[in-house]
Structure 1
Amino acid sequence: MVIAAQSVWEFGQADNATGCRDILAKASQHLKKCFFEDQADIDWLVHQQAHFVDEVLQLLWQKHLATEATLSLIAVGGYGRGELHPHSDIDLLVLLNDSIAETPPPALSTFLTQLWDIGLEIGHSVRTISECRQLAEDDITIATNLLEARFLFGNQALFEQLQQLTVSTKTWDNQLFYERKKQEQIQRHHKYNDTGNNLEPNLKESPGGLRDIHVITWVAQQHFDVRNLQGLKSKGFLAESEFEILQQSRRFLWRVRFVLHHLAGRKQEKMMIDHQRELAKQLGYVETDSRMAVEHFMKDYYRTVRAVSQMNALLLQLFEENIILADEPRDIEPINRRFQSHNGYLETINSGIFAYYPYALLEVFLILQQHPHIKGIRASTIRQIHAHLHLIDSRFRADIKNRSLFMEIIRQQKGITHEFRRMNQLGVLGAYLPEFGRIVGQMQHDLFHAYTVDEHTLFLLRNLRRFSCPEFNDEFPLCSEVFYQLPKPELLYIAGIYHDIAKGRGGDHSVLGVLDAEQFCTRHNLSDYDTSMVTFLVRHHLAMSSTAQKKDLEDPEVIQDFAALVGSVNRLNYLYLLTVADIRATNNNLWNGWRDSLLKQLYHNTHQWLEHTEAQAKSTQEKSHKKYQLALEKLTKMGWPPQDITTLWHTYDLDYFLRHSVEEIVWQTNGRLENPEQEPLILVRPHSDRHTLELFIYAQNRQALFAAMTASLEQLQLNILDAKININGDDSALNTFIINGAQQRYEDIINAVSKQLANEELISGYKPQLIPRTTKLFKTEPVIKFTTNIQQNHTVMELYTHDRPGLLSAVAQVFLSHQIQVINAKMVTLGDQVEDVFFITNLHDQSLNDSEQSNLLTDLKEQLLL
């Protein structure tokens, strides 16, 4: 509803800072009530907030500076536009007459101090007109602020002189202003990975945020002398429908920002994940059977910023034609009977092309792939695409010509990343593949998935594409090598498009997505073999990462089972590439050297198994013996007598040699030989990259050992990624940990572990003073599963729960109380969730019976729910 303008003095009278502070607080609460209870119009609210501040500033100005005719108070920035949110900055310019430039009146300082006293977030500058002109010439940000200057109080003639000198007589050339603003936007977008579809987007600065609307208005104001979107529409640069899209988008973002400021109690532009649920609730979103309310809200947000990004790109290109290219001669290059290049941009030969030839809606992207010198699609043609999207219907999708065009696009050797992203941006991809359209803007509300499903999919395609580019061969050498062996790379891209297509439908998306992928393959006349490859990849796209991270890759049975699932080297190649690209596209912090090394190890082990190049390695005993011999040879070459080595190994069992690499065996044995009397012996070295360390602890086995080791590492805020524990015949323990996390000196790690091992009766888990803000938000009941490995006589315990500081040492304490021995462990952290696997036995080296499992389960759940 629209409410008439109000005065701040309706909430009381004031003649000092305390009174003004109280009145502004009451006015803010009034606007909050208008929003939440009266559903007031957001445009009115943000302008009313600015009006309230105007009135308070006027009162204080008149109190302190009413008689001063040599200065003027001017609003700039967002406040200059007359727009204020609950905790927005209030940017002011105090404009001085040159005659008092050196000695501003003392009352000015008192005035500015009172603004801080009443709680206003003031940003101010005090300058003369000539200083403003000079600074505006040197700094485009100041020039932009002055474009939005609004007179408040004081000497209006000064303000008019400033306008004449900086706005009417422009401080920046129009062409240079446009180029700088566009470059600023490019750099700003880079900070957010060039996507507005981040887990915690910035309402103002992210691509598609409010700043992208500001850029449009700034350029329009500089060149076309219009102050707002309405002015652009009147100039003919915005169609009515485009104007409505931008207006609605801005109003949506303003509503979100208004609520966010109130939720945070301060200026806040980043939508933190712990604010998103409350934002959804206060904006009226409700939960449905398939989605949380916050997921409905965020989907609307992501679709809104996509619309803003589309309009921003369209208008900036129109501005470029009218500002940069206005005086250049037309350079027309015919492409075919439907398209031509116009000054470097692709355009239709006439506005009726898409109506006469609907297949051109796909052809445009193929042309861009085949002509990489073309800079993009001309704005007029983008508008035509928007106007003809309705032609991409079931009849269009059934047309063999369109199906062939789509397959031709996906088979191109260049331009796949750019054109699929452009197809999604323009709505063509979601129209041609309705199943893809359903995941546009869809976010999973957790800390693991950093992007919307569609954005994640496009990042995955980019990663796959980079494997094929020679210039990126050094980035992932094995992936590049494997990619060149693929007979049909397009099958990998199709699987990439469909691997998460069923997210958000409920159920297992890997299973549900197979049907969509199969239907796509059938529609596009793929052979049964190719269809089988695509559906296999969609169904099992998580299998390789799960196996690598949760299972013992030195166990031949694990490799045998995974090889049986994959079935061929060709499938293994496709799956390996898809897995690497998928992990890297999920979350920037997810990929690390440890995961890389695990996947490489699984790939090589499985490849050898499938190729039968190491048949002898398929025997557990023979594989252990081979490592034994190789390590013995290396250590002998290092100068150690074979007798000393074999004596040391006398108490080791074959399992140790099976589960450790030759390099690990050599390093650990060399350390023990160099320190024969030291117990405990603690060694540290770099592992797969600079962020990952390998820790070896040799100590006498006892009940509290695992609890002591994990507690000491967590106290140092180190994450345990992997643990291998071998008990020797002399009851000593060989413990290998892979760790990462907070940077620590090797000496600090060694000292901390030594100290804890010497004081096992004082073991305590890591309990941080500050609990992460998301811990309570995502707290879920733990899921614990037990299975028994009959051949190796141990129990496998899988733990799925929310992550928290000190989690592992808490589990270790429960193990200690139940006299559980840990012989191996795999730790996987996925955002806010952990998926840990422990290989355990009871005190008698036996797998746990039903009673032991039940008792352990009860105590673990009790401990983890504290």
Structure 2
Amino acid sequence: MTATASLVASPDAALLSDIRQRWKQGRAELLDHFAQHPLQVTPLLHGLTRLADHTLQALWAATSMPAEAALMAVGGYGRGEQFPHSDIDLLLLLPRAQGSDRALDAAAEGFITACWDSGLEIGASVRTIEACIDEAAKDITVQTALLESRFLCGHRALAEAMQAKFIQHLDARVFFQAKMREQQQRHIKFEDTPYALEPNCKESPGGLRDLQVVLWVAQASGLGRSWKELAASGVIHANTVRQIQRNETVIKRIRAHLHMLAGRREDRLVFDQQSAVAKVLGFAPTPSKRAGELLMQRYYWAAKAVEQINQIVLLDIEGRLWPQSVAKAQPIVDIDGVEDGRYVLRDGMIEPADLQLFQHQPWTLLEIFAVYQRAAGARGLSPAALRAIYLARPRMDSAFRHDPRSRAQFVRILQAPGGIVHALRLMNRTSVLGRYLWAFRRIVGQMQHDLFHVYTVDQHILMVVRNMRRFFMPEHAHEYPLCSELAAHFDPPWVLILAALFHDIAKGRGGDHSDLGAVEVRKFCKAHGIDAANTELAVFLVREHLQMSRVAQKEDLSDPEVISAFAQRVGDERHLVALYLLTVADIRGTSPKVWNAWKGKLLENLYRATLRALGGQTPQPQAELQLRQREAQRILNLYALPEGAQKPLWDTLDMGYFLRNDPQDIAWHTRKLYARVASASPVVSARLAPEGEGLEVLVYAPDRPDLFARICGYFDSQNFNILDAKIHTANNGWALDSFVVVSPHTKLHDRGMIGVIETSLLQELGSTGPLPAPHHGRLSRRVRNFPVNPRVGLRPDERGQRWILSVTAHDRAGLLFGIAQVLARHHIDLQLAKITTLGERVEDTFLVSGPGLGDARIQNIIEGELLQAIAD
């Protein structure tokens, strides 16, 4: 025994064993009860807290701690909310500084050791009163922990003296400012949204931490320690307490079950756990939604309400802490259609002059947002206005939605010259948008587990509205010049905003959401007095909002019949422009990863080709061929090629080649190949992709059955993703193929890769050995939890001359290579490849031909092998 240990009597081993056993048994009983009654989270948290209290008190006595020391609970444990695998945060309060009393130090060390030996996972600090005050002054985290301190056992007077001295030194204003900075940094860390795909139910915006911040700041300001005390202080309304507690309980349940399922502290609601938590909490799948999606929607609703309460209460407390900074209210006047003085502006924030306005005239719940759009100097709504809106939620009923004044105000919001996005987003955060548009309420917080949407449906819709508005704003004209040019001449712009607002509003109902959404927007237009022409356009856009993307990415745009059919579907230039703008805004609002310059080019090509068809220019392939050849020749003249240098190459190429390639590409191919037509050696050339990121790779080589598969195998081995492939066989038996590829591991424009590809791919083309096995990368957690049902379709085109192969699967390394191998085995010629990657899902389309495709038996074999290749 060491000299230090001999200063303290050893605790009785049998007694410690008994304490450990009681702790273990009591904890197991509480967790087992919660597993059987998964909704009863409050008894669990309080039960674990009481059990820890009793266990620590027993250990304090068993280790014969000096009577002059005190033990205090701090942090979440001090708050009385102990989750299954949260640390037990303790403060061991000593009368004298460590190092000045060996016996006291040894006793503290022995007590902490006994806690760990008994199975308690503690986080302990050992301090004097003076050390507590000093540390709190330097660290806001320590200050917050001490704010929630609770006496457990030992010298009560010492603990109370520490609490009194701490409160004496606590500056409520400094504490408020520090917590606001801390919260802002935390929100930024979690992308400043409660709608993350895998939210942290404690730390994310709208998580439990946001509620705790409110209580900390309120307590530091002397306004109360609980929601009921805040109501008594007038910070929140008494009716609001129940709403807060209900949403708080939802998130606490989820967090507790995450701990249980993981067997450790886990606060992230990751994909792997969403379905498991949903099952435990009794969420049952519906025909249109998974159980996990229903759980996430309930979580998002709760998080949204928490975020709203956090904002309202903190603004109120700020006004109480700095009452002298509250500016004098200035009446808002001279806004068309709004009574002068009905609203006031206070330090840039709008509020009704009569805070009971919304209770007496519910339609003004929409008018205040129309005022927000138009009032000069308005930055938002005041805490008083936000609180009044929150309390007026029961007034947003059927009568409110059918009131002609409400409808007129909503149309005013859509037709405002500016501030539309800000208004709609604020309306969504305050729940006004969903309570007015009942169809919108159904998609608030609805997750889309389709592997390419990264926002909930409501957030995606508002993102599309934002994108659409940017087309009309000069400061954003550089982002998408063609869209801005078209938008500048489109009238009225609010019809496009209306279509954006409704395009996905019927998601999750089952059935075709485009058709259902068209019904919803027609009902809206009828109820709101929209004229027939604009109603028809809005309905068309919602019903057809997926078509332009589908045609551009999956069909052969060089086929005059494809363009003609699409032009007939669109009808006229106005509908075409509107659909093009909505399509670009929609794809951009899906995910940062889904949009790229290549898709933009495909959409623009389809737009321009359709515009020509609508203008009466009947697609004439021969005229288009000559036009492209002349433009390509003009470009070639800039490079001083000899007269007629292009002829040997162009004579080997048919009309299909010229119609599928832009003049710029034709000129590039010609410059690289005009002197090599008679050569026996393959040619590989690469350049930076003219549109967007990645590289464009040209391959000119003798055609053979496995050529496409061998090229795909090379890109697969180098970890390149193929964005596009154009396959053409010249009449001299040589293949002229071009690919657009990107690599996730290189810079967007890495010139160094050009030489590598030109050398190593050329070597691969000389290989005659068997094709290597496809490289299989690891599946992401999203794909593992929300797999794509692989599908293969093989059908003849409208002329019956070629076949259209469509493939849908989750994206992974080696996918295209596996498809190419199957095609090579069956001697199927590939003429066109449309590679469409939507997040982590691919929808690829190939134009193919082959002698066996007309045989049903062979077709079934091919489809079976393709399914196996994409499912591996």
**TM-score, normalised on structure 1?**
0.89
- The Cα shift of 1:366 comes to 1.0
Separation (CA, whole Å) in 1 of partners of 2:800 and 2:656: 10
Q: Aligned pair in 2 of structure 1 residues 574, 674: CA closer, same or farther (>3 Å)?
A: same
User: In structure 2, what is the equivalent of residue 133 of structure 1?
Assistant: 133
Q: In the alignment, is residue 648 of structure 1 matched against residue 654 of structure 2?
A: no
Which is worse superposed, 94-103 or 698-707? 94-103
Task: In structure 2, give the amino acid aligned to 1:373.
Answer: G
Separation (CA, whole Å) in 2 of partners of 1:50 and 1:355: 42
User: In structure 1, what is the equivalent of residue 718 of structure 2?
Assistant: 716
Separation (CA, whole Å) in 1 of partners of 2:724 and 2:116: 54
- Quick one: percent identity of the two aligned structures? 37
Which is worse superposed, 86-95 or 117-126? 117-126
User: In structure 2, what is the equivalent of residue 6 of structure 1?
Assistant: none
Aligned with residue 198 of structure 1, among 196, 199, 221: 196
Unpaired runs of 5+ residues, structure 1, are 1-11
Task: In structure 2, give the amino acid aligned to 1:226.
Answer: G
- The Cα shift of 1:519 comes to 1.4
- The Cα shift of 1:248 comes to 1.2
Aligned with residue 79 of structure 2, among 76, 81, 84: 81
- The Cα shift of 1:160 comes to 4.1
Q: Aligned pair in 2 of structure 1 residues 477, 218: CA closer, same or farther (>3 Å)?
A: farther
Separation (CA, whole Å) in 2 of partners of 1:20 and 1:699: 80
Which is worse superposed, 266-275 or 484-493? 266-275
User: In structure 1, what is the equivalent of residue 861 of structure 2?
Assistant: 855
Aligned with residue 499 of structure 2, among 472, 495, 508: 495
Unpaired runs of 5+ residues, structure 2, are 1-12, 334-339, 747-751
Task: In structure 1, give the amino acid aligned to 2:491.
Answer: P
User: In structure 1, what is the equivalent of residue 587 of structure 2?
Assistant: 583
Written as runs of structure 1 = structure 2, the 5 A alignment for 1:685-834 is: 685-687=687-689, 691-744=693-746, 746=753, 747=755, 749-750=757-758, 753-754=761-762, 756-759=764-767, 761-768=769-776, 770-789=778-797, 791=799, 793-834=801-842
Separation (CA, whole Å) in 2 of partners of 1:501 and 1:213: 31
Which is worse superposed, 294-303 or 105-114? 105-114
The answer to whether the 8 Å contact 2:71/2:153 transfers is yes
Separation (CA, whole Å) in 2 of partners of 1:541 and 1:669: 38
Separation (CA, whole Å) in 2 of partners of 1:718 and 1:24: 56
Separation (CA, whole Å) in 2 of partners of 1:348 and 1:831: 45
Q: What whole-Å deviation, never above 9, does each CA across 1:578-630 have from its counterpart, x for those lacking one?
A: 11221222223222222223223323333344345xx49x3223322332333
The answer to whether the 8 Å contact 1:625/1:654 transfers is no
Aligned with residue 261 of structure 2, among 263, 270, 281: 263
Q: Aligned pair in 2 of structure 1 residues 206, 43: CA closer, same or farther (>3 Å)?
A: same
Q: Aligned pair in 2 of structure 1 residues 757, 231: CA closer, same or farther (>3 Å)?
A: farther
The answer to whether the 8 Å contact 1:597/1:688 transfers is no
Task: In structure 1, give the amino acid aligned to 2:209.
Answer: R
Separation (CA, whole Å) in 1 of partners of 2:93 and 2:246: 36
Q: Aligned pair in 2 of structure 1 residues 367, 771: CA closer, same or farther (>3 Å)?
A: closer
Q: Aligned pair in 2 of structure 1 residues 551, 26: CA closer, same or farther (>3 Å)?
A: farther
- The Cα shift of 1:564 comes to 2.2
Name the count of aligned residue pairs. 845
Q: Aligned pair in 2 of structure 1 residues 66, 635: CA closer, same or farther (>3 Å)?
A: same
Task: In structure 1, give the amino acid aligned to 2:640.
Answer: G
SS of 1:100's equivalent in the other structure is coil
Q: What whole-Å deviation, never above 9, does each CA across 1:203-242 have from its counterpart, x for those lacking one?
A: 1222221111111111101112532323212323232321
Q: In the alignment, is residue 251 of structure 1 matched against residue 257 of structure 2?
A: no
The answer to whether the 8 Å contact 2:272/2:781 transfers is yes
The answer to whether the 8 Å contact 1:479/1:577 transfers is yes
User: In structure 1, what is the equivalent of residue 9 of structure 2?
Assistant: none
The answer to whether the 8 Å contact 1:147/1:222 transfers is yes
The answer to whether the 8 Å contact 1:242/1:311 transfers is no
Separation (CA, whole Å) in 1 of partners of 2:77 and 2:759: 57
The answer to whether the 8 Å contact 1:795/1:848 transfers is no
- The Cα shift of 1:681 comes to 3.1
User: In structure 1, what is the equivalent of residue 349 of structure 2?
Assistant: 345
Separation (CA, whole Å) in 1 of partners of 2:369 and 2:143: 39
User: In structure 2, what is the equivalent of residue 840 of structure 1?
Assistant: 848
Q: In the alignment, is residue 558 of structure 1 matched against residue 557 of structure 2?
A: no
Separation (CA, whole Å) in 1 of partners of 2:233 and 2:472: 47
Separation (CA, whole Å) in 1 of partners of 2:318 and 2:345: 16
Written as runs of structure 1 = structure 2, the 5 A alignment for 1:433-582 is: 433-582=437-586
The answer to whether the 8 Å contact 1:290/1:506 transfers is yes
Separation (CA, whole Å) in 2 of partners of 1:103 and 1:482: 81
Q: Aligned pair in 2 of structure 1 residues 73, 477: CA closer, same or farther (>3 Å)?
A: farther
Which is worse superposed, 326-335 or 486-495? 326-335
SS of 1:736's equivalent in the other structure is strand
- The Cα shift of 1:517 comes to 0.8
Separation (CA, whole Å) in 2 of partners of 1:585 and 1:119: 50
Q: Aligned pair in 2 of structure 1 residues 167, 507: CA closer, same or farther (>3 Å)?
A: same
The answer to whether the 8 Å contact 1:178/1:219 transfers is yes
Separation (CA, whole Å) in 2 of partners of 1:749 and 1:85: 55
Separation (CA, whole Å) in 2 of partners of 1:706 and 1:118: 66
User: In structure 1, what is the equivalent of residue 3 of structure 2?
Assistant: none
- RMSD, aligned α-carbons: 3.3
User: In structure 2, what is the equivalent of residue 189 of structure 1?
Assistant: 187
Separation (CA, whole Å) in 2 of partners of 1:454 and 1:78: 34
The answer to whether the 8 Å contact 1:693/1:738 transfers is yes
The answer to whether the 8 Å contact 1:766/1:806 transfers is yes
Task: In structure 2, give the amino acid aligned to 1:641.
Answer: P
Separation (CA, whole Å) in 1 of partners of 2:675 and 2:132: 73
- The Cα shift of 1:716 comes to 3.1
Separation (CA, whole Å) in 1 of partners of 2:141 and 2:646: 71
Task: In structure 2, give the amino acid aligned to 1:237.
Answer: V
Written as runs of structure 1 = structure 2, the 5 A alignment for 1:209-288 is: 209-224=207-222, 226-288=224-286
Which is worse superposed, 756-765 or 726-735? 756-765
Which is worse superposed, 806-815 or 528-537? 806-815
Which is worse superposed, 131-140 or 20-29? 20-29
The answer to whether the 8 Å contact 2:726/2:833 transfers is yes
SS of 1:440's equivalent in the other structure is coil
Separation (CA, whole Å) in 1 of partners of 2:66 and 2:54: 18
Separation (CA, whole Å) in 2 of partners of 1:682 and 1:65: 83
Task: In structure 2, give the amino acid aligned to 1:638.
Answer: Y
Separation (CA, whole Å) in 1 of partners of 2:57 and 2:757: 62
Q: What whole-Å deviation, never above 9, does each CA across 1:409-441 have from its counterpart, x for those lacking one?
A: 111112211211222233322232222222222
Q: What whole-Å deviation, never above 9, does each CA across 1:329-360 have from its counterpart, x for those lacking one?
A: 64343542532234543333334433443332
**TM-score, normalised on structure 2?**
0.88
Q: What whole-Å deviation, never above 9, does each CA across 1:792-846 have from its counterpart, x for those lacking one?
A: 832111122333443222222221222212221112222443211111111x5x9
SS of 2:589's equivalent in the other structure is helix
Written as runs of structure 1 = structure 2, the 5 A alignment for 1:553-702 is: 553-611=557-615, 615=617, 618-672=619-673, 679-687=681-689, 691-702=693-704
Q: Aligned pair in 2 of structure 1 residues 808, 352: CA closer, same or farther (>3 Å)?
A: same
The answer to whether the 8 Å contact 2:777/2:813 transfers is no
SS of 2:785's equivalent in the other structure is coil
Q: Aligned pair in 2 of structure 1 residues 21, 838: CA closer, same or farther (>3 Å)?
A: farther
User: In structure 2, what is the equivalent of residue 143 of structure 1?
Assistant: 143
- The Cα shift of 1:675 comes to 7.3
The answer to whether the 8 Å contact 2:247/2:305 transfers is yes
Task: In structure 2, give the amino acid aligned to 1:855.
Answer: I
SS of 2:344's equivalent in the other structure is strand
The answer to whether the 8 Å contact 1:583/1:590 transfers is yes
- The Cα shift of 1:148 comes to 2.3
Which is worse superposed, 276-285 or 113-122? 113-122
Task: In structure 2, give the amino acid aligned to 1:66.
Answer: M
- The Cα shift of 1:116 comes to 6.9
Separation (CA, whole Å) in 1 of partners of 2:213 and 2:420: 29
Which is worse superposed, 545-554 or 528-537? 545-554
Separation (CA, whole Å) in 1 of partners of 2:215 and 2:658: 68
Q: Aligned pair in 2 of structure 1 residues 731, 106: CA closer, same or farther (>3 Å)?
A: farther
